[in-house]
Structure formats: structure tokens, C-alpha cells
Amino acid sequence: MTVPAGHFLLGPLLKSVSRSFYLTLRILPAGMRDPVGLAYLLARAADTIADTTLIPPGRRLELLLGLRAQVNGEPGGGALDAAMIDVASQQTQADEKVLLESVPAALALLSRFGDADRRAVRGIVTTLTEGMEFDLRTFPDETSGQVAALTEWDELDRYTYLVAGCVGEFWTAMTLAHMPGVLKASPEMMTARGIRFGKALQMTNILRDCGKDLRIGRCYLPAVLLRRQGLRAEELAAPDASQRAAPVLLELTRTTLAYFRDAMDYTLAIPALSLRLRLACLWPIMIGLETMSLLVCNDRWLDPASVSKVRRGDVYRIIALSLPMALSDAMLRAWCERMFKRIEARLVAARVNT
């Protein structure tokens, strides 16, 4: 797969659309890099379609399902190709326009993968697009002024699997296929931990972005939890909503921390000598826990003008800090426990205040 198109797709284009995740992708061992990178590109293209608000949700869903069919080997047809070009022309960001225009080349590259990698990429993209389909079918048009909430915890749990837990599953499968014998725990245990790893990262995103998501009609905080506090999704944009919803946000934070403990166990099951793979897992954990630490100190959690986001300079600091730690299980455990204690202390203080 050393064709020019492959170099562009998995090099400059991947870097332009994957942002901080590109750091993780680049550190991956060579055998895993191409299938993981191409899966990311195809999923990112699908996500761009799902998020193009200039197109009605029903039409976005139709295009999303058409792209999923193409990924799984069905011919696209002229009408679908023309529609994709139309969606590309409506992108305000140049890199997303190029990404959508590059879908045919990405699909051609996928067809040149070996059977196992091709099946794995098709599987993960199919599952991820099911999560995007769920969004489009569950929530109102972003411009409608309406808001809808998930109903039960099980619905949120299923959603986090579709959009991220499945990535941990895929990541584990790629590791087992391309680095056999490396992982120190059983495939079954690593797969289960990998799913919870992915859920940890997605729950972090949900908690960080819930204020912004509410403004486009999406409430991922389950209604059953909101009702315990006498709240409805429509009330979460009020100035005092962060304080009123704090018990719900803190409960979901505790769930997320439990997921992060499994993510650390996953990472520690990778030998220190497999440094690239260990770092690829460690970086999102460190960034995720830093984000959680910011969140629990944010009294305006649901205010979209007060987003708890790790700054670029802090990302580079985390990377520098990680390099010596990654070689020592003891140092990793000590750092992790410090982060957990910091966040949990804030949770205790917040519970007293509420």
C-alpha cells in the first residue's frame, strides 16, 4: 500500500482532520497504523456528513447509509457520488471538503487491504455509523429549537458503545492481529477492558460538550437521572442549570472514572518494551483525566462559553511527562492514583455542597 493516494490519505489528509488523535495514530506500530488510520478517515467522513446542518437530517441519514453500503462493498452509483460532491461543496472547512472528495480513493485503498484488515475496518465503520444514525433518528433538527434527551441509562450505555466502545474492541483486535503475544491478559479480558476504555473517552466528551450539545437539541444525560433532581432537558439551558444538574453530572463522572480504571489496566497489560503501543493508549487517558479534573472544578459546567478543554500546550506537557512514565508500571500507577484522588476529592466536596 505504498501508492501515492495511500500516502496522501494516511499522511497529510489524516493529519489535517484528526487533530490531536493524529499524535496517537503516528505513534502506533507500523502494522496497525494503516487500518486504524483508514478506519478513522472513513468514520470522520461519515461524521462530517451526519453533522452538515445545511442538509436536512433525513437527507443526511440517506447519504450516511449510502456511504456505509459503499464501505461494505456495494457500488455507489452516480446519484450517490454526485450527492457526496454536493455535500463536499457545502463544507466551510477546506480539510473536510477534501476529506469528502477523497472518499472514493479511501474506498479503493480499503479494497487493497488484506481480508482480515478489510473486514475489521468495515465492521468498525459500520458500528460507528450506527451511532451516527442513532443521533439523526433520536434528536430533532439542530435548527428546530427543540431538545430531546435519552431516556434510560441503558440507552446511554448502548450509545457510548456504538460511538466509542467499539473502537476499543477494534483496537484490541488490531493489536492481536498485528502484534500477537504482546498483551499480558487474555483476549476476552482485553476486549472487555478495551470497550470500557472507549466508553471512558466518549463519556468524557459527552460531559465536556453537554452544554454545547444542549444548544443543538441533544441531551445525552438520561431523563431518568434528570427526573430525580426534578429536571427536564428543556431546563438545562437556564443560568442555574449547572448547580441543579450537579448531582447527575457527578454521578456520571463517577461512572466515567470507573471506566478509566479499566483503561489504565488495559494500558498496563501492554509491556513497557512495546513503548509505541503503550504510549498510544496512555495519551488519551492522560488527556481524558486532565479534562475530567477541569470539569469537576467548573461551576458553569453546562455553559457553552465555559468549556473545560485541555489546551494545546498542556497536551505537549502531557506527552513530555508520559515518556519516562511509560517505561515504569509503578510510575504509571502512582500518577494515575494521584489523578483519581484529585478528582474524587472534588467529587466529595461537590457532594457536600449540593
Together in a domain, 151 and 134: no
Asked whether the whole model's pTM tops 0.85, one would answer yes
Domains contained in the chain, number? 2
Together in a domain, 149 and 290: yes
Together in a domain, 216 and 118: no
Contact 193, 262 (CB under 8 A): yes
Looking at the DSSP bridge assignments, the partners of residue 218 are 148
Cα 340 to Cα 68, 128, 151, 265, 336: the distances in Å are: 39, 29, 29, 14, 6
Together in a domain, 92 and 172: no
Q: Indicate the residue among 138, 162, 183 that finishes a domain.
A: 138
Together in a domain, 160 and 296: yes
Q: Indicate the residue among 138, 154, 183 that finishes a domain.
A: 138
Q: Identify the domain containing residue 201 by its residue range.
A: 144-354
Together in a domain, 237 and 300: yes
> What confidence score (pLDDT) does residue 352 get?
59
Cα 169 to Cα 31, 200, 228, 285: the distances in Å are: 17, 13, 33, 16
Together in a domain, 149 and 285: yes
Instruction: Give alpha helix (H) positions in 215-274.
Output: 223-228, 241-244, 246-268
| Side chain identity, residue 30 | A
Q: Is the dihedral of CA 143, 100, 122, 163 positive or negative?
A: negative
Instruction: Give alpha helix (H) positions in 72-114.
Output: 78-89, 94-101, 103-111
Query: Is 71 contained in some domain?
Result: yes
Query: Is 222 contained in some domain?
Result: yes
Domain of residue 165, CATH code:
1.10.600.10
Together in a domain, 328 and 202: yes
Q: Indicate the residue among 86, 106, 138 that finishes a domain.
A: 138
Cell 460507528 sits at which residue?
128
Long-range contacts of 61-65 (CB under 8 A, 24+ apart): 61/133, 61/136, 61/137, 63/87, 64/129, 64/132, 64/133, 64/136, 65/129, 65/133
Contact 250, 241 (CB under 8 A): no
Query: Is 20 contained in some domain?
Result: no
State how far the Cα of 84 lies from the Cα of 287, in Å rounded to an integer: 34
Together in a domain, 299 and 257: yes
All 3 cell numbers of residue 213? 450539545
Per-position pLDDT tens, the chain of length 354: 444 567 889 889 999 998 778 888 888 888 899 999 999 999 999 999 999 888 899 999 999 999 999 999 988 767 677 777 888 888 888 899 999 999 999 999 999 999 999 999 999 999 999 999 999 999 999 999 999 999 999 999 999 999 999 999 999 999 999 999 999 999 999 999 999 999 999 999 999 999 999 999 999 999 999 999 999 999 999 999 999 999 999 999 999 999 999 999 999 999 999 999 999 999 999 999 999 999 999 999 999 999 999 998 999 899 999 999 999 999 999 999 999 999 999 999 877 566
